[in-house]
Structure 1
Amino acid sequence: MRIWLVLLTTLILATGCDQTPTGRDQLAVIPDSMMADFGRQTFMQIQQQVPLSDDATANQRVQCVATHLISQIANRFPGSPLPDTWEVVLFANDSPNAFAVAGGKIGVNRGLLTVAETDDQLAAVIGHEVAHVLARHGNERLTQELGIKAILMLIGLLGEGDADTESIIQALGLGAHLGIALPFSRAHEEEADLMGLELMASAGFDPRESTALWRNMAKAGGGQPLEFLSTHPNHDSRIEALEERLDVALPLYQQATPVNCER
């Protein structure tokens, strides 16, 4: 195990950076095929544990919104790793949440439909989750976490026998968590917000509804942890960033054909 971690550290240090669809430098060294396998396995486990919704109307709405978003991926973000097919599932879970994983799997909880009051708001959430996959955020986070563990293991090897080594590793681990892992996660959320905004606008969903969605989320979620200690931006920061990006998204929406999934 120690040899494996040393080799991984060498690989991470020697590998050059890629770029996300927004142009941000990114280090993601896990093969995309492996991430797709992880995603499919994870999705299968969730399907085994959480019942599917049999609400035909809600299923049709979710499928419609997701299909329109997926149809615009290649045009809006060419070069992003894409699966051959996408699977979209509505789960009978009342928490207002959705997720997407590598391998072309999208999950939406039934509870999200009570917070996302319009198709446009639902598109904002699904577009955001799809953007995480397009930007390879899961790969980047896994690379990052493995790198942190490898570096801490190296410190342990170099300081083996030193009584203070364990406390140093614990301190460095906390520092890495607060100083690296969480800020990167917030960066991922912000990037997915902006990519999702452009994707929904290109697909014919009103991007202005994205801010209404997060106001609904704020009402539904109540209090939040301090932004510094959270993996997600707070709602006010999120809404402000989305509003600043509307000048890019609105022209895309004006050029698209508006979608109505309730017909």
Structure 2
Amino acid sequence: MKRLLLAIMLFLAVVACKTNPFTGKKTLNFYPNSQIFPMAFAQYDQFLNENKVVEGTSEAKMITNVGQRISSAAERWLDANGYPGYLKDYKWEYNLVNDETVNAWCMPGGKIVFYTGIMPICQDETGVAVVMGHEVAHALADHGAQRMSAGTLQQIGAVAGNVAIQDPQKRNMFNQAYGLGTTIGGMLPFSRSHETEADRIGIQIMAIAGYNPDEAADLWRRMKAKGGQAPPEFLSTHPSTDTRIKNLEAWAPLAKQEATKFGVTSFK
């Protein structure tokens, strides 16, 4: 049984690779769009039914308009770089939900939500584009499916350990050590890498959409000024705010260079 589980883990890790078109890197992903997108779409619809969606306001319209510009820019980049049809199964949707939480998120397949609580941090259309670029990037890079894939491997490893270890006390020690080790040493760094990747892809496609990538670092300065106690970076799912600001400052000139390839030389 132990050998079978380990063989399954190895097989999944080897065969379940997909190339990220924006980075050229192989990613762990054994959930095809045909499987994960319908689940995500159903969960998204359920969320909208259970929460207060803001409709018809200037902010709600801005969320939709910016989302459409960002996703169109992403499609232009993909078409120009040898990935025509990459987005054929995506069903983009952008909604503003009445909630004081300072957050926005994206589900696989392009289902995006902004909470009203993040709008004062965004301040304007370009600020919304910073956040939207980041969320669209999560969808483009299949981060949701990758997290599910990593979680599945983590679970298989736990089952393998429990099958192999017969002594109850040793099994309990293994579970504690395995849970802590795979979370801090595996899942959290994996999540932080996704956030960093989404920042980098997002700033690029917002620039192609005509938004000033210099504003990305400014948004995170506003986020930092808002305050709040954050855990140490190694215990967090996200990079620290200072790390993000530094990265975005370095990537902004590169994003502008990429935008010029699409005829974009001035920015909002």
**What is the TM-score when the length of structure 1 is the normalising length?**
0.90
SS at match of 1:67: helix
Distance 1:89 1:187, change over 3 A: same
Identify which of 103, 109, 131 aligns with 2:115. Answer: 109
- TM-aligned CA deviation for residue 62 of structure 1: 1.0
Distance 1:186 1:165, change over 3 A: same
Deviates more, 1:78-87 or 1:68-77: 78-87
Equivalent positions of 1:59-78 (< 5 A) are 59-78=60-79
Equivalent residue for 2:155?
149
Q: Distance in 2 between matches of 1:200 and 1:207?
A: 7
- TM-aligned CA deviation for residue 193 of structure 1: 0.0
Confirm or deny: 8 A CA contact 1:40 1:103 kept in the other structure. yes
- TM-aligned CA deviation for residue 224 of structure 1: 1.2
Equivalent positions of 1:1-263 (< 5 A) are 9=9, 11-15=11-15, 17-20=17-20, 21-54=22-55, 56-78=57-79, 79=83, 80-253=86-259, 255-256=263-264
SS at match of 1:88: strand
Q: Distance in 2 between matches of 1:84 and 1:174?
A: 35
Distance 1:221 1:248, change over 3 A: same
**What is the TM-score when the length of structure 2 is the normalising length?**
0.88
Give structure 1 regions of 4+ aligned residues with deviation exceeding 6 angstroms: 4-7
Confirm or deny: 8 A CA contact 1:207 1:253 kept in the other structure. no
Count of aligned positions: 259
- TM-aligned CA deviation for residue 221 of structure 1: 3.9
Q: Distance in 2 between matches of 1:33 and 1:94?
A: 34
- TM-aligned CA deviation for residue 107 of structure 1: 1.0
Q: Distance in 1 between matches of 2:90 and 2:12?
A: 29
CA RMSD after TM alignment: 2.3
- TM-aligned CA deviation for residue 229 of structure 1: 0.6
Confirm or deny: 8 A CA contact 2:16 2:29 kept in the other structure. no
Which amino acid is the alignment partner of residue 86 of structure 1? Answer: W
- TM-aligned CA deviation for residue 77 of structure 1: 3.3
Q: Which consecutive unaligned segments of at least 5 residues does structure 1 have?
A: none
Distance 1:97 1:34, change over 3 A: same
SS at match of 1:225: coil
Q: Distance in 2 between matches of 1:14 and 1:201?
A: 35
